[in-house]
Structures are given as C-alpha cells and as structure tokens.
Structure 1
Amino acid sequence: MPYGSWPTPVTSALVVRAAARLGEVVVDGGDVWWSESRPAEGGRSALVRRSTDGAVADVLPSPWNARTRVHEYGGAAWAVAGGTVWFTHFDDQRLYRLDPGAAAPVALTPEPDLPAGVRYADLTPTGDGGLLAVRETHAASGAAADVVNEIVRIAADGTTEVLVTGPDFVSDPRPGPDGQLAWLQWDHPDMPWDAARLVVRAADGTETVVAGGRSPDGRGESAVQPTWDADGTLWFCCDRTDTWSLWRRRPGGPAELVLDPGHDLAGPQWVFGARSFALLPGGRVVVPGGDDRLLVRRPDGSTAELALPGYTAVRYLAADGEGVVCAGGGPRTEPVVLRAGLDGAVEVLRPARDLGLDPAWFSVPEHVTFPTEDRGTGIAEAHAYVYPPTNPGVTAPEGERPPLVVMVHGGPTGAHDRTFNPEIQYFTSRGFCVAHVDHRGSAGYGRRYRDVLQGHWGVADLDDVVACARYLADAGRVDAARMAIRGGSAGGFTTLAALCLRPGTFTAGASHFGVADLAALAADTHKFESRYLDGLVAPWPDGADVYTARSPITHVGALDTPLAVFQGSEDRVVPPEQAEVLVAALRDRGVPHAYLLFEGEQHGFRRAENIRAALDGELSFYAQVWGFDLPADEGIAPIPVVR
C-alpha cells in the first residue's frame, strides 16, 4: 500500500490513552509517590501513591489538580513528608494541605484579590509542619514587569514569611544544616540555563555565591539542582566544564568537580523540580549514565554501572534505601516508575499501560549526525533521531519512498529524549519517516552546542532542519517531494520560519501554537520568557530590525506552502493573536491552509478531544495536500482546508 495510507492500530484514541505523562517521583517513608497528567480527565495532574504493601491508589480525587502556573510551565506543584501532602490547586493557584486520614484538603493560603494571581511552586517541606516555596505574585496590570518572584516560608497555620526577594527569578529553596539556606537566582535577560547562581545564606545572614552567574568578561555559567547531604555538603550540577556535571561544596571549602561523564547530567530548567542525581548512604551518588544504565559514584571516586535495559531516558531520581526510584522510558516503552537497587535488581512500580500492541509496531530511532552551515559558530554539524516507517503488516510499492515529517522540539532550548512517543508512532506506523531534529541550541550536547543559538535563533535552527531534510532525501531515504515540517511553540517558530525564509525544501507544514511574530512575543509574553529573546535574537527593542527580519509574519508574502495551524484560546506564552494574524495573511494570499482554535486550552493541549482533533487534523491535512487516502475504518473527518 502507498506510504501514508497504511492501516494501523496506533490511532489518535490510542495516543490519548497512552499520553498520561509522569511528573515528579518522591519517596516518603517507604511509600513511592508520583504525579501524572491525564488527558482523559481534562488534563488534570493526579497524585498517586504506591504503599509499601504494593497497593497503588490516587491520593487526590477529581477535580483536584496538583498543577502550578509559576513561570507558566509549572513543576514541583506538590510535596509530601510523613504522609502529609501540600499542593497547588490549578483552578485558584492556592496552596492546600491534605493530612493522613483527612477527608479533604484544606486551604493554607487565602484567596487572592486577583483570581489565580498568587501562585506557588517548588514546594519543600521544612520538617516542622511548614514548607518553603517559590511564590509568584501577579498585579492587576497584567504586565510581566509587575510580576514578583520570591522565596517564602509558610508555617503550618499558613503564616507566610518572605526569605528571598529582589532577584528577577528564584528557585530550588533548600534548607540545610545549622540554619543554612540554599537557592538559585537569576536576572533578566538571562534564563536559568544561561547564568543561574547558586547562593547559600548562613544562619548569620551572610550570603555566598557558590557557583553560576556571569564572569566579568560576560561568560555564563549555570548551576542547578542544589541538594544538601547530611554532613553539610552541598551537591549540585554545573556546566563550567561545558556539560552539566556533578559538583559539590564541602563545609567551609570551595566548589569542586566530582564527576564529568561527558554528557549533560541535567537539562534546562523549563519546569521546577528536576532531579538528576540521588545521594545514597555511605557517600554514594547515583546519576544517569547514558543509554540503558545508571552510574554509581563511590566515595573513593570510582564508578560502577547499573544496567537499565531498554530505558534511554531517566529522570526524577530519588534515594530509596540501597537504591533509587525514578521515572524511566525508552523507544519501546512510555515512562514508567522504576526501583533500581545497587544489587542490580530492577522493579517496575508503575508499569506502562497495556496498549495491546506487539513491539513490532514500534519504530526505533537511529541517531544521525549531518553536516550543516557553520556561519561562524564553530560547529558545522547537527543531530537528529530518525524513525523509519514501521508496520509489520504492510509494505510499500517498489520504488516508492516515504514522506518525511521533520519534528522540531520546543524551547528552543529543548531536546528529544527518545522516550516512547505515541505521536511519532502514529505517523511511522502509517508509512511516514519521522526525523526529530536536535538543532544547534538544543540541550544534551553541552554548553558550546547550546550557545550556538545565542543571537542565531531563526538562522542556525533553520539551517539545521533544512540540512536534515536534504540529507535524508539525498540519501534516498525519503521522498523529496513530500517533506513536511511541524513543531509547537518555539518549534512552531522554526516551522514557520523555515517555510517563509527557506522556501523550496518543505511542501507542507503544521504549526502548533507557534510563534509568528517575534516582536509581538517580546512585547507580550509572560515574565519568565519576556527577555529570553534578548539572547536568542537581539536586545529588545534596540534590535527591532532583527526581529522584523526573522519573523515569519514579515515574510508571509513568500509563503506558498500549505500550512495547518493549531492554537489554544487561552495561551499566554504565545497569544492566539499571532495565529490569527498568520491565518489572515494565508487567506489573503490564497495559500491552502487549515486552522483549529481550541477553546480553553493554554500553551500545549491537555484535553483528550483536542489532542485527537489536532493529530487527526494534521494527518488529514497531509493526505489532502499530498493526495493519499486515509484508512476508512478510523472515521477521521477531513479537516477543512481553505484558500
């Protein structure tokens, strides 16, 4: 059968069923807790506990939703200690506490004057019934410049004390021994992966910057994930050696490098609560070791490997006796909760959902490195993970080559993690080749690779996605006449820019809440990213001409490639006005396009019906543009394509 039209059990309904996303994993008194986002329940974040007897149960029934809007991306919206749970409820952003045996949560913080105007994240219990938190306070003006981020202590009775105020951003409040407090802070225009500073405050109020920040010559350094050991040693990750490696600061001593495995241990702090290492008794530390393994660093500096067959992405490590628990996933399995012992035993505590599919349906990626334009960056190659068409029951006509979908991650300081992604399998099982591009600027390859995008967003990433598509076409792996590009958020910007500024390579595109107007984004977005483009593009507004030159909307007159646009009506990161302007320009030019606006959705689609509509709509769009038939038994309604 022709590529693209292959029948498959990987439907949009299955994608939604498999789309529950794991959040933080925590160990409390032997019980293992985790959060998971559930599209089938309106996208709410549920809390789940696995007791020591193996029983698994939801802790917060619907409609409770443990999700914060701090930085708009959230993370670390809950914490547990001694069975007591604190969490931020999404609807009102207030803090709540649920004690063991209590019938329902109780509110700790008052209703703010501005609905959802006071938000809490990065919750850290203090051991005395209270907790530390990052508090984000919004003003009635709605202006990003008026948002205040602070570290606060909240007592058991709800009394609140401000501990750190002044920096533009703060995170990771961690109480240490002898009255010490550690946290991260950074200021505009830096992002945390640019120059987050690790600060320690002694009991007498003296503050010391342990690592991170900017040197007098402007060189940036990012410290992340401060964690205290029982002996007063402060552990953290820092990219001083190019990769985010493991460091420590012993009491009274300087920061010292402990382990540089040659790859990034940590990632960019888009959300709160990341944990890339776990401290075990006896001075041992466990970190991700790359594909299929963990590394155990012993006190004498030697290391040992723990095998995790099939798990290429591991995160949220937490100590659990003589081992760790974590979230882990791989190309053939969605994220699961694992317990890995130092004796090599691996136990799955929260298994993947049974999708009823033979693994023969799953396309396994191949890492490729391909040449690209240097343009004075010093790096002339980029990376991608290529997923070939995979379907055990169908072959293509002899001589036909598959269509290509180039996927671009968000951020743009993000990366592809190779965890089982049902959306990718949705396409590959139908006969598409998918290339997930880690363009220069992506995380995971060290700071030098990541910093290429500084001042080059809209240039280097375009070079790389075009180079990847042509590399695969020249190798005869895909049909050069049927190559599409798709992405969300920052990936949507690269998608739109590639079609407008580099026409001729792609013959279709799909933008999911993508950036069309850089100037509009710089002038009207939330505080966390309000100065992000100063580094990626140029200082705003002094560099307004650069914003104009690189914005897809400026070059829409050159856009003659069919395009599908998907947008949420309540998106504060990329407001829907950007999509409306783009669609109006497409309509004025008579370019074939489709547009779906989802009411109530924010930045990223969380509701099952909308995830399905966007995915099926995108497939239907490609079918209409490239002229292949969809499997009749799925009942996919054609998305309206207009001129």
Structure 2
Amino acid sequence: MRNRSIETPYGAWASPIDAELATAGMTAGQIAAPAYVGVIGDEVWWVEPRPDDDGRVVLMRGPAEGAVRPVLPGPWNVRSRVIEYGGRAWAAAADDHGILAVFVHFADQRLYAYRPDVPGAEPRPLTPVSGVGGGLRWAEPEIDLVRGEVHGVLEEFTGDGPGDVRRVIAAVPLDGSAAGDRSAVRELCDDGRRFISGPRYSPDRRRAAWLAWDHPYMPWDAAEIMIADVGEDGIMRRVRTLAGGPGDPVAQVEWAADGSLLAALERTGWWNLYRVDPDTGRLRALFPAEEEFGGAQRLGLRWFGPLTDGRVAVLHGRGAQRLALLDPGTGDLVDVSGERSEWLPHLAVSGSTRVVGVAAGRFRPYEVVEVDVATAEVRVVAQARYGAVDPAFLPEPQARVFIGPEGGEVHANLYLPRNPHATGPTGERPPFVVWAHGGPALRASLAVNLEIAYFTSRGIGVVEVNYGGTPGFGRAYRERLREQWGVVDVEDCATVARALVDEGLATAGRLAIRGGSAGGFTAAVSLVTTDVYACATILYPVLDLYSLATGQTHDFESHYLDSLVGPVAEVPDRYHDRSPVTHPERITVPFLLLQGTDDVICRPAQAERFLDRLAGRPVPHAYLTFEGEGHGFRNQKTMVAAIEAELSLYGQVFGFAPPGIPALPMAVTDERGDHAESR
C-alpha cells in the first residue's frame, strides 16, 4: 500500500532524522566534512572530525584496495591551533623504512613523528613545550627526508596576551633532538611579517614561496607572495615580495613542474589563475573570467594543483565551485562531469592523472573522492560516516537570488519542508528559520546537511543567506560588507525573509533567525534593529564590538573590525551603536543563547554582560553554557542538547509540540541578572 501523507501541524511531523543523526555530520557549526587530503604513494590520507568521539579529529588513510582505517587511535587528536582556526596539521612521506607521519596533537600542540606500519610503534614528540602564553604551535608541516627535518609554520607566544605572538617558518629535526630543546628548532626566516603560510619549494628546492600579510588586514584583503632563495643550510635569504598585497590579495601559490609559479590573485575583482615569473613577478592570466578560482584563504586551503604534464586541476565557479582541468597552453578549461557540484578547497594531485578532493552534491554528502583525469573515472575513497538517510526526507535545495530594496542581489539557499508521511494544515504556511552563516568569510553550500534536514523533515522551512560579504561571488559582493557589518548582513537576511512572505512560502510572525559566531552577531543585531523575527537562536556570538576591537579576542581577528566596522579610534560611536550588548532594551521577542565556556574568540564574558544588561526586561529566554566547548561546538552531546533546545524554542513560539523533545525552560531575567539555569 502506498504511504499517505497525514495532515499534521508544521513542526510536529515525525522524522527519522533525530538529533543524534543530525549532529553526527556536524562540527564547529559546519558540516563535518573530511579535510586536508594528501596522496602518499598509492594511498589517500586526510583528516575527519568525530563529533561522537569527544570531537577529536582523526587522521585517516585509504588504500587503493581495502578498507579505510585510522592512522592513529584515540586519544590522539590531529588538529592545530595556529591563528586559533588552525590549518593542515599533518604530513607523511615514504622512505626505506616505510611511511613516516608527522602530526600536531591538539592537547599540547607539539609535533609528533609516527611509524604507522611498524608494530608496537608509538608517536614520539619532536618539539618542546613552552609555558609562555599559548605556548608553541605548529601548522602546515612538510617532511624533508634529505635534511632529516620537518618544516612548517611556528607560532610562538612571547607573553600572556593574545597579541604577544610571533610567527616564522621553522625546521625541526626528525631525530627528536628538539623535543626538550627550543634552541634545536631552526628558524628559516625572520619574524618580520605578522602572518605567514607554509612554504612551497621549487622543484629544485632552491627557492621557496609563501603567503604573508600584516595587521590590520585579513589574508583575503592583502596576502602577498613572498619568495626567497634557499641555501644549502635551508635558510631563506633575499626574501622579497613578488606579487599581491592590499587590493590584489593572493589566495594560493604553487610551483609548476617547469619551475614557474602559479597563483590565484584577485586583481580583476575575481580570484583568477596566473602564471608568475619568479624573477620579475610578471603575471600572465591563464583563464580570465568573472568567476572564482580561489577564495578566502586560511592555512592549508588549496583550490588548484599543477599536474606533471603542465595541466592544472582547478576549482572554479560562482558560489559553488566544481572541478575542472585547465590547459595553460591552449586556455581550454574542461569540467569533470558528475553529480558532485560542491568541492571544498582541499585538492591534492599526483603525477599527471590523479586528483583527490572532498566533494558533495545536492543529495550526496561530502566524501573523499579520487578522479583519474585520463579516464574520467571517479572513485569514492571514503563515504560519510553516518548512516544512510531516505532521500524522501531530505529537502530539495534551491539556489536563489533575491533582490534587495536598492536593486542589489542577495544570494541564498532555500529548503522547503519535506516529509513523505506528513503535510501541513490546509491553508497554513510553515514556520521558517533564516540561517546567517558564521562567516563573514564563509559561504553556505548546497551540500547535504542533516542539521537542516532535522528541521525541514519536521515541517520547518530553512533558508541560508549568503549575505553581502560572502566570498564566491566576486570582490564587489564581498566588499558590500566593508564597514557595514551589522547593517548589510542584517538587511540581506531581512530581504530574504520578507521575500518568502511576499511569495506566499512563509507567513509574517512565523519567522525566526539563527546564527553562530559572526552569524550570531547578525541574529542578535536583527532582534535589536528589525521587527521581522518572532524569536532567535544565537550561538557563541559576537555581542560587544568594542571588546573585540580592544584586545579581548585572538590575534588573527584582532583588527578584523577595522574593515568590517571601521577603525575604532575613528568611529567609536559606530561600535557602540551596532553592538547588541548596548541595546538589550530593544529586544522584545524570545531567544536562546548558547555558549562554550572555553571560547577564546567570542568569550563568555560578552554573553554574560549582555544578559546582565537585559535584567528586568520581560523577555523570555534561555542561556545554556557548555563546559569544555570552544568557538563552535565539537562534542556530539553538546550539539544534541543545542539542537533539541532550538527545536523546543520554535515549538513554544510557533505553537507546536515537537514529539520526543524535552521542553526548554525559558526564564525572564530579574533585576539581579539571574537567568535560566546553565548546562
């Protein structure tokens, strides 16, 4: 007998996607995708987050034949804290003794060496521990078997403040002689630049190139290509700037097999690929186009990789990026066909035919895939770890472009409620939640997201807004947010919300907003400055702009607000006016505030100050804190509690009873500042 849909209140639909399944594929507020892939001989290696294992990041290996398996058992956690957001935290190479792996362990941030194929072998430390501030941290390691060293980015704290830090390219002996001796760590360049990426060595290893930038810029605003001559001792001499800088940032630089440099620069307003003369810095565009061949760089991201035959594997597109092969000689760009339309900037190449990456489709989760470009054969190296989900319960994503009040475009991804066994009451529209992503330098993708499906399969619509400032749509779209954070992002979300009402998809008064980190700021400001939303879920948010601009955050983003809001010394009133902590009296609707106690980016003090100033206001709310969680939740127990609390909030506001979900206690802050009990 064919299943029949039963009329059921929106939000109360029975769904097989429970909180455990929805959060199994999430970490730090994003889809828990594999990352930082590499090719080691015939094998493919990568890291993947494990929310169900205390949120640790596991180094994995996938042989050409046979099952994938972890390289390291628990509790080893392969994750760097350089610039707090980390980067690639592992490297491996094959020698006469088999495979040697080097990795950063999250707990102490030391580099370790490990022989995974030697029975009984244990990881051994390569770097010392420092008790000063955040200690010694490492990212982007590369093994140099000839010199018996591992090279990478060293972040060294010189004091207890978040800005008491220096960064250099350094070399560590593989024999372990530096494990207790800081003086045995060799610095290969000076610390004249505030931020650097890991070095890329020329085929003859006589030159090295890397990216560098300084305060007050972010890398996607001003990263430059640095180049140096490498001596026999490995020291980098005659360091100079080759290309890039403010207004022409570089996303990535790599050496081609012929000794030239390839780089993604944004000089035309789009990150395009160029060949760079390493002697003169002269540039030649390889495929000029109004689309992106790069993106907002953080340590270790790779949008392209040169093959040994001269072709280049590239990711390109507007918004979503897909895999293609570029022939620099002919200018031909040929897309790799297939259903995977979303590729992450984690490309690795080997030889002239192997390309490995992380890709997803509208009904396929992110997977590690290998493409043989000679045959166009695609092999799935590693599938998603969570169980199969009936596609009938997954929403059909729609990439939409809405038009703002002044005629500008606003990009968004629309997800309508979908459940084969339920339909909403006749004549009623579902509640909708507007998601503001946690950028600004991020983008909401159209990949399968079970956290979204958790809501849509219950009868709640979701729309993710790629508000102005989001990369992937050209510099002009990204720079709409310049000095307009808290204005453009809020207006774009409201534009989309109102458009859904105008189209008859949603109803005024049944709209919510939700966001984490920067998106949490957008959600909170939306409650302060608009009357569009009936409630909000605010996760580990920015609430006090002034505190972020005056040293109460980490070094990497300590000057970020210079571009997002304006220099604090020049526009102090702007910081006051746009901070949600300044205007709690304007909030009139319920909200849920979620915070990790160990967050060093958006510290709990902001949330506590916000709630103290809300004292005496008749606004129902809940404040949940989670011990041991940082900026973005990683432990599955935390994420389960958070998403169930969020669903309960919507049920209480929109008038439905979600089956099997504990009721979220809501409180009104009294004049003493007491509020809902924390977890």
TM-score, structure 1 length as denominator?
0.95
Q: Structure 2: 5+ residue runs without aligned partners?
A: 1-7, 27-31, 179-183, 232-236, 669-679
Runs of 4+ in 1 over 6 A off after TM superposition: none
Q: Name 1:137's counterpart in structure 2.
A: 156
Q: What secondary structure is seen at the aligned counterpart in 1 of 2:477?
A: helix
Q: Name 2:200's counterpart in structure 1.
A: 174
Q: Name 2:633's counterpart in structure 1.
A: 605
Shift of 1:479: 1.8
Shift of 1:621: 0.9
Q: Name 1:435's counterpart in structure 2.
A: 463
1:292/1:138 CA distance change after superposition, 3 Å: closer
Q: What secondary structure is seen at the aligned counterpart in 1 of 2:290?
A: coil
Higher alpha-carbon deviation: 125-134 or 398-407: 125-134
Q: Give aligned pairs, total.
A: 628
Q: Name 1:636's counterpart in structure 2.
A: 661
Q: Name 1:288's counterpart in structure 2.
A: 315
Kept in 2: contact 1:94–1:116 (CA 8 A): no
Q: Name 1:303's counterpart in structure 2.
A: 333
Shift of 1:251: 4.8
1:448 and 2:472 are equivalent in the alignment: no
Q: What secondary structure is seen at the aligned counterpart in 1 of 2:602?
A: coil
Q: How does 1:555-634 map to 2 (within 5 A)?
A: 555-631=583-659
Kept in 1: contact 2:339–2:361 (CA 8 A): no
Q: Name 2:234's counterpart in structure 1.
A: none
Q: Structure 1: 5+ residue runs without aligned partners?
A: 215-219
Q: How does 1:139-538 map to 2 (within 5 A)?
A: 139-141=158-160, 143-157=161-175, 158=178, 159-164=184-189, 165-176=191-202, 177-203=204-230, 205-214=237-246, 220-252=247-279, 254-269=282-297, 271-290=298-317, 293-298=322-327, 299-321=329-351, 322-342=353-373, 343-353=375-385, 355-374=387-406, 380-502=408-530, 504-523=531-550, 524-538=552-566
CA deviations over 1:11-58 (Å, ceiling 9, x no partner): 111113333431211001111001001011101010111123333211
Kept in 1: contact 2:596–2:604 (CA 8 A): yes
- The letter for the 2-side match of 1:212 is G
For residues 70 and 577 of structure 1, the distance between their equivalents in structure 2, rounded to whole angstroms, comes to 23
- The letter for the 2-side match of 1:14 is L
CA deviations over 1:406-453 (Å, ceiling 9, x no partner): 001112121112121111111111111111001111111011111111
For residues 234 and 607 of structure 1, the distance between their equivalents in structure 2, rounded to whole angstroms, comes to 41
For residues 326 and 310 of structure 1, the distance between their equivalents in structure 2, rounded to whole angstroms, comes to 11
CA deviations over 1:212-238 (Å, ceiling 9, x no partner): 113xxxxx1110221112221111211
1:11 and 2:39 are equivalent in the alignment: no
Higher alpha-carbon deviation: 46-55 or 489-498: 46-55
For residues 165 and 321 of structure 2, the distance between their equivalents in structure 1, rounded to whole angstroms, comes to 42
Shift of 1:529: 0.4
1:121/1:354 CA distance change after superposition, 3 Å: closer
Kept in 2: contact 1:227–1:235 (CA 8 A): yes
Kept in 1: contact 2:62–2:68 (CA 8 A): yes
Kept in 2: contact 1:198–1:224 (CA 8 A): no
Shift of 1:140: 3.7
For residues 371 and 45 of structure 1, the distance between their equivalents in structure 2, rounded to whole angstroms, comes to 40
Q: What secondary structure is seen at the aligned counterpart in 2 of 1:259?
A: coil
For residues 545 and 599 of structure 1, the distance between their equivalents in structure 2, rounded to whole angstroms, comes to 35
User: Which of 23, 32, 35 lines up with 2:35 in the alignment?
Assistant: 23
Shift of 1:252: 3.6
Q: Name 1:126's counterpart in structure 2.
A: 144
For residues 119 and 383 of structure 1, the distance between their equivalents in structure 2, rounded to whole angstroms, comes to 37
Shift of 1:519: 0.5
Shift of 1:317: 1.3
Kept in 1: contact 2:54–2:634 (CA 8 A): yes
Shift of 1:138: 1.8
CA deviations over 1:366-410 (Å, ceiling 9, x no partner): 122112244xxxx72211111111111111111100111000111
Q: What secondary structure is seen at the aligned counterpart in 1 of 2:616?
A: helix
For residues 430 and 384 of structure 2, the distance between their equivalents in structure 1, rounded to whole angstroms, comes to 30
For residues 67 and 422 of structure 2, the distance between their equivalents in structure 1, rounded to whole angstroms, comes to 42
- The letter for the 1-side match of 2:117 is G
Shift of 1:249: 1.5
Kept in 1: contact 2:343–2:357 (CA 8 A): no
1:262/1:172 CA distance change after superposition, 3 Å: farther
Q: Name 1:217's counterpart in structure 2.
A: none
Q: What secondary structure is seen at the aligned counterpart in 1 of 2:423?
A: coil
Higher alpha-carbon deviation: 300-309 or 445-454: 300-309
Q: Name 2:45's counterpart in structure 1.
A: 33
- The letter for the 1-side match of 2:102 is W
Q: Name 1:539's counterpart in structure 2.
A: 567
Give the RMSD, CA atoms, in angstroms: 1.7
For residues 121 and 592 of structure 1, the distance between their equivalents in structure 2, rounded to whole angstroms, comes to 44
1:34/1:110 CA distance change after superposition, 3 Å: same
Higher alpha-carbon deviation: 197-206 or 101-110: 197-206
Higher alpha-carbon deviation: 250-259 or 531-540: 250-259
Higher alpha-carbon deviation: 235-244 or 285-294: 285-294
For residues 371 and 516 of structure 2, the distance between their equivalents in structure 1, rounded to whole angstroms, comes to 34
Kept in 2: contact 1:126–1:175 (CA 8 A): no
Kept in 1: contact 2:242–2:278 (CA 8 A): no
1:260/1:10 CA distance change after superposition, 3 Å: farther
TM-score, structure 2 length as denominator?
0.90
Q: Structure 1 vs Structure 2: percent identity of aligned residues?
A: 40
Shift of 1:125: 2.4
Kept in 2: contact 1:18–1:334 (CA 8 A): no
